[in-house]
Amino acid sequence: MRSLTTLRRVLLGSATVAAVLAGALAGAAPATAASPSPSPSVTAVPTAGTTTVVQATADCAVTPRIACVRGALRDDNGNGVKGVTIRLDGASGATASAVSNAAGAFVFTVTKGGTYRITLVTSTLPKGIKPLAAASRPIPVTLGQLQPAAFALKGTFKGSQTTSGPSTSELHLVLDQISGGLLLGLLLALASIGLSLIYGTTGLSNFAHGEQVTLGGLLAWLFAVVLGWNFLLACVVTVLLCAASGYLQDRFIWGPLRRRHLGLTQLMVVTIGLSLALEYVFQYFAGAQVHPVTTSIQINTGPLDLTPNAYLAMLISIVVLVAVGLLLQRTRIGRATRAVSDNRPLAAASGIDVDRIIRLVWTVSMGLSGLAGILYALVYGGINWSTGQAVLLLLFAATTLGGLGTAFGALIGSLIIGLVVQVSSLFLSGDMRYATALIILILVLLVRPQGILGRRERVG
């Protein structure tokens, strides 16, 4: 019986991926693809004024003039709690009530910013469930932003299905982390291949690489959310712009500095300065808040803790990574790139235009990092100016583990780091899981400093 249920969920999940892909190919923003969960039932209470400021809606799309407040109610088994009333009150008497759907989700669309009070109507909670904290609290609502509003609950309702005994639910948890780790690993791989190739062809550790990831996410936010473009178009333009930023960087900064024979240590400090400047340029123009790249809300589908967007992101990453791999293995230019990465003077002596290859590497790497940024924002709910900082450390851990300068090493390293970081979140709270990446980094340097695929003579 249980296996049948699982099978159904798997089928549902893959059907959703197909639906998302069909939607994406048809040119619609993937996030608007229908989710299989039923819509929340809506009871909008009209407000005193002529225009409705707060409304309970089935779905909500963030635009510069609209804010979304959303949350989900789950019991101890992780099942959605249905039929609970949640009220959102504004300062000027604006109010609306939403009733949670079968997945426990509720959504409000708000058209005026300010501080609101969100209230869980405890009398509508099913028997056996109690709120863990205060049932009412003020929340800030800013137009153009998504405001999460969860209520922690305790207990289970009657008929709440346990996934089964504790052992299976632990297994489920581990599977969730593994799939999440795979996702993180694939996203990291997109960015770390570029980092590794730049290191291989120029010897430079680019400390501004994380900011290129941020750039991708923020540009996608600008086009898709602020300007309201079609999502796919926004993605394509973003990746092209990021690639162009790589080309221009090499044309105007790194190329001339190579010709001036600036030392690698100095170059590294230049990338540090660039990273700092870019971070605060982002903050100057985009502020410090987290910006989403899509405007609608998704609910997990399939047996795993993954949204349709996450499946889509994995698929795109795999396609792009395979394409890059084929490019490196099968084409002339790919072979030339690997030759330069292997031994620059020898490649130059055998007639390869090293400068052209390096420019190409910068261009492609930055395009890939931009794509990684878009997908990161798509999967993890948004991106802000400092996302690149956190990602950079994982990227360095991944490239070092795989072997600095090797593209395929970066891929393997990224998958391992993604898995380890995600699985360690079972034991470590919050950002502490990043510490595991550092421990791996130090162990690798102690035991095998050249990394998994690196060669010994690379290390001085």
Partner 1 sequence: MDFLVGLFTDFGQQILSSVTAAFAIAAIGLNVHFGYTGLVNIGQAGFMLIGAYGLAITVEVGGGFWLGVLIGLVGAALFALVLGLPTLKLRGDYLAIVTIAASEIVRVIGDNQSLSQWTGGAAGIAGRVYQGAFTALSPFPANQQFQVGPYTYPLTEGDSWFLRIVCWVVLAIVAVIVLLLMRSPWGRAIRGIREDEDAMRSLGKNVYLYKLQALMLGGVIGAIGGMLYVLSANVLADSLGRTTTFLLYTCLLLGGAATVFGPVLGSALYFIVIIGLNDVVAQFVPPQIMNEQQIPQFGWIVVGVGLMLLVIFRPQGILGNKKELAFGD
The only residue of 129, 397, 420, 421 in contact with partner 1, by rule CB under 8 A: 397
Handedness of CA 371, 306, 20, 28 (dihedral sign): negative
- Report DSSP state, residue 204: -
Please report whether residue 460 would count as binding partner 1 according to CB under 8 A: yes
Question: With respect to partner 1, which residue has the nearer C-beta, 149 or 392?
Answer: 392
Question: With respect to partner 1, which residue has the nearer C-beta, 22 or 252?
Answer: 252
Number of other residues whose CB lies within 10 A of the CB of residue 427 = 9
Distance separating alpha carbons of residues 225 and 26, to the nearest angstrom: 19
Give the residue among 150, 147, 154 at the shortest CA–CA distance from 125.
154
Question: With respect to partner 1, which residue has the nearer C-beta, 321 or 444?
Answer: 444
| Contact code string over 257-276 relative to partner 1, x by CB under 8 A | x---xxxxxx-xxx-xxxxx
Least distance between partner 1 and beta carbon 82 (Å): 32
Question: With respect to partner 1, which residue has the nearer C-beta, 120 or 417?
Answer: 417
Distance separating alpha carbons of residues 393 and 306, to the nearest angstrom: 24
Number of other residues whose CB lies within 10 A of the CB of residue 81 = 24
Question: With respect to partner 1, which residue has the nearer C-beta, 160 or 205?
Answer: 205
The only residue of 159, 165, 345, 430 in contact with partner 1, by rule CB under 8 A: 430
Residue 104 CA, distance from chain mean position: 24
Please report whether residue 255 would count as binding partner 1 according to CB under 8 A: no
Query: 191: number of CA atoms within 13 Å, CB side?
Result: 35
The only residue of 64, 280, 326, 331 in contact with partner 1, by rule CB under 8 A: 280
Query: Would you say 322 and 190 are in contact if contact means Cβ atoms under 8 Å apart?
Result: no
Question: With respect to partner 1, which residue has the nearer C-beta, 28 or 257?
Answer: 257
Query: Would you say 209 and 332 are in contact if contact means Cβ atoms under 8 Å apart?
Result: no
Element at 345 (helix H, strand E): helix 344-349
Please report whether residue 445 would count as binding partner 1 according to CB under 8 A: yes
DSSP assignment of 436-459: HHHHHHHHHHHH-TTTTT--GGG-
Question: With respect to partner 1, which residue has the nearer C-beta, 40 or 409?
Answer: 409
Strands 54-56 and 105-110: antiparallel
Please report whether residue 426 would count as binding partner 1 according to CB under 8 A: no
The one segment of 102-110, 130-138, 314-322, 427-435 that binds partner 1 by CB under 8 A = 427-435
Least distance between partner 1 and beta carbon 431 (Å): 4
Question: With respect to partner 1, which residue has the nearer C-beta, 281 or 323?
Answer: 281
Please report whether residue 281 would count as binding partner 1 according to CB under 8 A: yes
Least distance between partner 1 and beta carbon 399 (Å): 9
State how far the alpha carbon of 457 is from the alpha carbons of 94, 135, 382, in Å: 69, 63, 41
Element at 412 (helix H, strand E): helix 407-424
Distance separating alpha carbons of residues 70 and 80, to the nearest angstrom: 14
The only residue of 45, 171, 277, 319 in contact with partner 1, by rule CB under 8 A: 277
Least distance between partner 1 and beta carbon 348 (Å): 19
Number of other residues whose CB lies within 10 A of the CB of residue 284 = 9
Please report whether residue 442 would count as binding partner 1 according to CB under 8 A: yes
Q: How far apart are the first and last CA of the chain?
A: 60
DSSP helix/strand/coil, 38: coil
Please report whether residue 438 would count as binding partner 1 according to CB under 8 A: yes
Site for partner 1 in 188-217 (CB under 8 A): 199, 205, 207
Please report whether residue 378 would count as binding partner 1 according to CB under 8 A: no
Please report whether residue 125 would count as binding partner 1 according to CB under 8 A: no
Residue 281 token pair: 């340029």
List contacts with partner 1 (CB under 8 A): 199, 205, 207, 257, 261-266, 268-270, 272-281, 283-284, 389-390, 393, 396-397, 400, 404, 429-432, 434-435, 437-438, 441-442, 445-446, 449, 459-460
